[in-house]
Structure 1
Amino acid sequence: MNVGGQTRTFIEHVPANFSPRTKKPAVIAFHGRGETDGRFAAYSQLDGADAVVLYAQGLNGKGGKPSWEATPYIGAWAHDYEFATDLVRWLAKSPCVDATRIGMTGKSDGAGFAASAACRINGVAAVATISAAFYQEHSHCTASGRPLPVLNMHGTADPVIPYDGQPARGLYSTDDWIQLWRQRDQCTGQATDRKLAPDVVRTTWSSCAHGNTVVNYRIIGGGHTWAGATKPSGPGDTTHSLNAAQTVMAFFAAHPLPRTNP
């Protein structure tokens, strides 16, 4: 795909039962800094979903490592938002894709970019972020940004992107970022907490505008990893009390694009 005068690539996965006569949900997935689309595909287990999955490849930024806009490592020259927009439009026009069920996900820098892109790109139904890096200065998720359902997972012992943020690097804490998203989604009422396992606590805000939901999974002792991964996905402990791929896809299935919220 040519974007901004540069060739951009992605891996497309289709499910085993794929038929051109059946519309499938779709997911656009963004890898972490220093990773590749192939490595992300290998550990994320999203290939097991009954969906079309596009694993996007980032461009090399500072230090020669692939990353995304919405981080300090790559600037607007990358045209990542245009790339993401083109992927959404390409999927929405496909006769094999349900245009009301296009979600975005990612890990680390890719997760931060997925959230930032979802805030400004029409046609994205929901976003899910894992071990995300939310940079205050580079995020395009303003308080008046586009509201939509969001699911977040983060380990409390993440050695790369601390759960409680890092002011010196301009990183939001998880709680501060969730609070901003709750404001954007106009969530009211009290949160609902549920301990799913000794190391997993889920907090849900469901009284939000347009039927949106904000969900945060606090993974106690979890590292900079993809929950449920059976292959290396980053430093620190990986919980197997939760499967990120299955949880993300269930969240996307429950939150199609409302007719009144493009």
Structure 2
Amino acid sequence: MREPTRHEPTRHELRIDGRLRAFTAVGADEGPEGRALVIAFHGSTQTGAGFRDFTGRALDRLAAEGRAVVLYPDGWRGHWNDDRRENWFAARRVGIDEVAFFHALVAHAAERYRTGPVHVVGYSNGGEMVLTLLHRVPEALAGAVVISATQPVPENWLSEQGGTSPRPSPVVVVHGTADPVVPYHGGPMPWYARWLFRVSGAALSAPQTAEYLARRNGIDAAPDEAEVPSRRGMVQPARRARQRPAVSRIRYGAGPGEVVLYRVEGGGHTVPGSPPAPAILGATADVPALQDVVGALIEGAHAE
């Protein structure tokens, strides 16, 4: 492994359809050519820089090792115009073109950092943005990670569902069974989440989401399941008792188009491996660590 080197984050702006869109970048300008580009989409009401801190700057380690350049873009007024039909964010009301922003980020990174394969990571609203990109521009993606987000049902989705992806790429889905915002077992969001985040509509369960993505990647075989060893156990918010988590890895297929679901028993609306989230979001597990999940995708892409 390369010797880690710390890089200070830099702020940038791009003009998209007459609007300035901002992002935080982590990575050396003169790093190895062909490094992976990792674009991390934050959750509702967050910013790119805020999501970087929320995850404990886990993805920065990939940049420090010279394996990737990481971009943390800002949504429009704290949200992404993902393809959920019942989406009432300001980004939807003014018609923000997130796919154009994505393409601009990729072009910027290719010119400035000479990056190669593109991987996307998204949490909550950002996870829905990743699902949107998997449907809208699958040919542009080498890998994807969806955290605390599930695939909306067809009547709550603007992109066409079904069929086979023109470019199957590996996808990792991470979801806690006690998620208080996006139910693990699917259906509508709780009323308080609909009111707070201004989004509605029903969605598939996390297992159904993984199965759906596997079918899109041409995988029909039954998955295999294995327990993931924990490092320390479930990290609960302050003043709450620890409990031992059971994290399972459910793998559909193998190779470039595989889909993996990490089921975090008792996990909340959180990013495993990150610092404990606010108590209202539930418990945070220590595995799978985000940098390990994305790092494995990067190594797979470079091995092709």
Task: Quickly name the TM-score band, shorter chain normalised.
Answer: 0.7 to 0.9
The alpha-carbon deviation at position 107 of structure 1 amounts to 0.2
- Partners of 1:128 and 1:4 in 2: CA distance: 28
Q: Deviations over 1:144-190 (max 9, x none)?
A: 34432101100000000010112473222112221211111011323
- Partners of 2:50 and 2:113 in 1: CA distance: 29
The alpha-carbon deviation at position 141 of structure 1 amounts to 6.1
Q: Give the AA of the match of 2:136.
A: R
Is the contact between residue 38 and residue 121 of structure 2 (CA under 8 Å) also seen in structure 1?
Answer: yes
Q: Give the AA of the match of 1:176.
A: Q
Query: What's the counterpart of residue 140 of structure 1?
Result: 159
Query: Residue 95 and residue 229 in structure 1: after superposition, are their counterparts in 2 closer, same or farther (change >3 A)?
Result: closer
- Partners of 2:54 and 2:32 in 1: CA distance: 30
- Partners of 2:271 and 2:257 in 1: CA distance: 24
- Partners of 1:117 and 1:32 in 2: CA distance: 16
Q: Which of 165, 172, 181 is matched with 1:151 structurally?
A: 172
- 1:212 paired to 2:257: yes
Q: Percent identity over the alignment? A: 26
Query: What's the counterpart of residue 290 of structure 2?
Result: 244
Query: What's the counterpart of residue 224 of structure 1?
Result: 269
Query: Residue 104 and residue 21 in structure 1: after superposition, are their counterparts in 2 closer, same or farther (change >3 A)?
Result: closer
Query: Residue 149 and residue 179 in structure 1: after superposition, are their counterparts in 2 closer, same or farther (change >3 A)?
Result: same
Q: Which of 93, 112, 115 is matched with 2:131 structurally?
A: 115
Is the contact between residue 116 and residue 139 of structure 1 (CA under 8 Å) also seen in structure 2?
Answer: no
Is the contact between residue 199 and residue 241 of structure 1 (CA under 8 Å) also seen in structure 2?
Answer: no
Q: Give the AA of the match of 1:113.
A: M
Could you tell me the TM-score, scaled by structure 2's length? 0.74
- Partners of 2:47 and 2:62 in 1: CA distance: 20
The alpha-carbon deviation at position 95 of structure 1 amounts to 5.3
Runs (4+) off by over 4 Å: none
SS state at 1:247 partner: helix
The alpha-carbon deviation at position 251 of structure 1 amounts to 2.3
Aligned residues: 248
Is the contact between residue 189 and residue 207 of structure 1 (CA under 8 Å) also seen in structure 2?
Answer: no
The alpha-carbon deviation at position 94 of structure 1 amounts to 4.5
Q: How does 1:121-200 map to 2 (within 5 A)?
A: 121=137, 122-136=139-153, 137-138=156-157, 140=159, 142-144=161-163, 145-146=165-166, 147-167=168-188, 169-197=201-229, 198-200=245-247
The alpha-carbon deviation at position 20 of structure 1 amounts to 4.1
- Partners of 1:238 and 1:139 in 2: CA distance: 32
- Runs (5+) with no aligned partner, structure 1: none
- Runs (5+) with no aligned partner, structure 2: 1-13, 190-200, 230-244
Query: What's the counterpart of residue 106 of structure 2?
Result: 88
Q: Which of 66, 70, 75 is matched with 1:53 structurally?
A: 70
Is the contact between residue 88 and residue 123 of structure 1 (CA under 8 Å) also seen in structure 2?
Answer: no
Query: Residue 222 and residue 118 in structure 1: after superposition, are their counterparts in 2 closer, same or farther (change >3 A)?
Result: same
